[in-house]
Structure 1
């Protein structure tokens, strides 16, 4: 773990980007309002659709709203949806997938039936229908909907891994010693699934961010909230692409792309940690191996 998370450039860059956006979501709105005096909802009628320049580093939109303040405020909305949706989806996947694979029998039959039911559902159309029916309820409801309908794939993966761990010798030995199933699940099975769960969480987080952006782009979101998705929706409604107002849609789109890239980089590092075959040999190790091979060949 130390080798991967402290020496892997992919993990370092990915974590740095994710931490940056998390800090931006928490402290960014306060910083832009208190330090720079920028309000994402304030209308500057003297700077309508102004390009980036003095007073507005990222320009303004059709309503004279500062785009830098909007991007920072949108970070809080999008990251909130991403984290909450990932927490809900990952928690449900753990609660359904791990007991199903560990206990088997009737428990597995019942939980696997529920998993298969959600797995065959058309998730995106179903999310659109429910979110459209509950339109205007805010980002929290959007995040809960995304998490509630996005857990089945992770539960299926966790079920298979838990089933494999449950049949290993050390788990069977502890069962013979009288260990309770609940303790085995939390003390033996879940620690072996930490890497997989972390990877699932990151995948669910970026999935929730992109799902919120897609719902907002289609108009199925709370128009009063500010997120990267609502910014892109506003740019689409006002034909920002045709009018050349790139500063309206490029910054939020770039932020979403950076979040996805960062999550992918961290996932690569987690894969290298969980699967030794994927670990790249360091240059020093390669040189040492070559020297030993030459020495052995000379001998």
Structure 2
């Protein structure tokens, strides 16, 4: 665990992505101090462009876009983290259980995973959200969490099957170690990179999916998130009247959190994949060799 965290922080991509995500988390936690205005209060004239008083302009209702963006960050991150946690926990439990016990247990869980995998996910989410009506962010997180675990379970199961045949697992089994200890102590730490990859990817998927559902009008109009900001901008014809800042603010927020989480995912992939680590080392060696060759050519020219 400690070695993985050390490698994660030393990886440039992972550290850069983590810095972006931590910035978003700080904004979400300090929203009351940063926003400056009540996000639902009318504080200026409608569709006022960005200025010193209102950094990201105002909406058709005269609400401050920056305040809405800050408070929307809290909601969108909350949904992403909650749904990502549900997806990761479900996928990890199902994947490890299927791989370790095998037999009938593996067949049943594998059948469930295949059924969920073949279902078109976004249409399924649209149907569920439409059936439930205008759902709250918590309900969206729960829907996504309970319908998006199959891919993580499949990947975790495949990796756990390879661990199951390792010598130290066989030795622990011969010594009579209980199943719970074999899973939690012997297998789970070796699946940490896969679990982190699944968790980060689930957060990205959830944030984008939540914004999509709310943009289509399936979210609660009483909640404030990046998706509802886009929905309100659409219904007020913000682009038509030239209020581009209402669309740009939530879109850029989604883009940058996606970049940060993706960089973290790339870093986890490099840490867990020896080939990528080797390619990175080879690339650095080639750059150094080219630099030395240029220096030699300069010396030879002189």
TM-score under structure 1 length normalisation: 0.90
Please report the RMSD computed on the Cα atoms of aligned residues, expressed in angstroms. Answer: 1.9
Question: Gaps spanning 5+ residues in structure 1: where?
Answer: 292-299
- Output the CA distance in 2 between the equivalents of 1:287 and 1:212: 45
Counterpart pick for 1:24 among 24, 27, 38: 27
Q: Is structure 2 residue 23 aligned with structure 1 residue 15?
A: no
Q: Is the 8 A contact 1:139 1:222 kept in 2?
A: yes
Alpha-carbon distance, 1:2 to partner: 6.3
1:241-280 Cα distance to aligned partner (Å, 9 max, x none): 2222111011110010111111111111111111121021
Alpha-carbon distance, 1:284 to partner: 7.5
- Corresponding residue for residue 41 of structure 1: 40
Alpha-carbon distance, 1:3 to partner: 6.3
Q: Is the 8 A contact 1:97 1:159 kept in 2?
A: yes
Q: Is the 8 A contact 2:134 2:217 kept in 1?
A: no
Q: Is the 8 A contact 2:135 2:218 kept in 1?
A: no
Alpha-carbon distance, 1:168 to partner: 1.3
Q: Is structure 2 residue 195 aligned with structure 1 residue 192?
A: no
The residue matched to 1:221 in structure 2 has which SS?
coil
- Output the CA distance in 2 between the equivalents of 1:83 and 1:251: 21
Alpha-carbon distance, 1:9 to partner: 2.0
Q: Is the 8 A contact 2:27 2:34 kept in 1?
A: no
1:137-158 Cα distance to aligned partner (Å, 9 max, x none): 4110110001111110110111
Divergent runs of 4+, >4 A: 282-288
TM-score under structure 2 length normalisation: 0.90
1:201-225 Cα distance to aligned partner (Å, 9 max, x none): 0000010000000001111111110
- Output the CA distance in 2 between the equivalents of 1:88 and 1:176: 34
Aligned pairs for 1:152-167 (under 5 A) are 152-167=150-165
1:98-122 Cα distance to aligned partner (Å, 9 max, x none): 1101111111011111111111112
Alpha-carbon distance, 1:75 to partner: 0.2
Q: Is the 8 A contact 1:4 1:11 kept in 2?
A: no
Question: Gaps spanning 5+ residues in structure 2: where?
Answer: 293-302
